[in-house]
């Protein structure tokens, strides 16, 4: 009975953990690393394979690019800069430039004066009025 449990655990370690690790890292182009981690470290390797990421990064914003082996994006989906692929490496083709035209006769708008504080007429307050501190209500 104990031999069967040992054999089943060994088969799970050797077969299921590498498969699960490879499947966990497949969407991020790291299936080989996930398979190796699942084989070497078992269930802990499967959990570690969830963090593997082998996708290329945009050289401008550093965002991860969703790529396939055949399809590569022409622009970054994060910063929308044009990308050029060359020999399995990513190179920046062009970056958008912000041009500001500064006019020589530019004057900032005048500042508005803050409104004057509201003053109540002295006869609106009774002469025998004494301000008292507010008590806390419980």
- Please give the residue range of the domain that contains residue 35: 10-54
Domain end among 22, 39, 54: 54
Q: How far apart are CA 81 and CA 91, in angstroms?
A: 11
The answer to whether residues 68 and 39 belong to one domain is no
CB atoms under 10 Å from CB of 57, counted, come to: 13
What pLDDT, on the 0 to 100 scale, is given for residue 98? 43
The answer to whether residues 59 and 91 belong to one domain is yes
Q: How far apart are CA 92 and CA 20, in angstroms?
A: 36
- What DSSP character marks residue 120? -
The answer to whether residues 50 and 76 belong to one domain is no
Element (H, E) at 86: strand 82-86
Structural domain count of the chain: 2
pLDDT mean across residues, the chain: 76
What pLDDT, on the 0 to 100 scale, is given for residue 75? 80
> Full-prediction pTM beyond 0.85?
no
């Amino acid at each position: 009975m104990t031999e069967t449990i040992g054999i089943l655990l060994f088969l799970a370690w050797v077969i299921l953990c590498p498969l699960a690790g490879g499947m966990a890292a497949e969407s991020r182009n790291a299936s080989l690393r996930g398979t190796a981690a699942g084989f070497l470290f078992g269930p802990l390797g499967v959990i570690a394979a969830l963090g593997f990421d082998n996708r290329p990064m945009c050289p401008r914003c550093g965002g991860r690019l969703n790529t396939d082996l055949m399809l590569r994006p022409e622009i970054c989906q994060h910063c929308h800069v044009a990308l050029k692929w060359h020999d399995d490496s990513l190179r920046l083709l062009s970056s958008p430039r912000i041009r500001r035209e500064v006019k020589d006769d530019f004057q900032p708008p005048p500042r508005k004066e803050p409104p004057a504080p509201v003053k109540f007429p002295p006869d609106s307050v009774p002469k025998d009025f004494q301000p008292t501190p507010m008590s806390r209500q419980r």
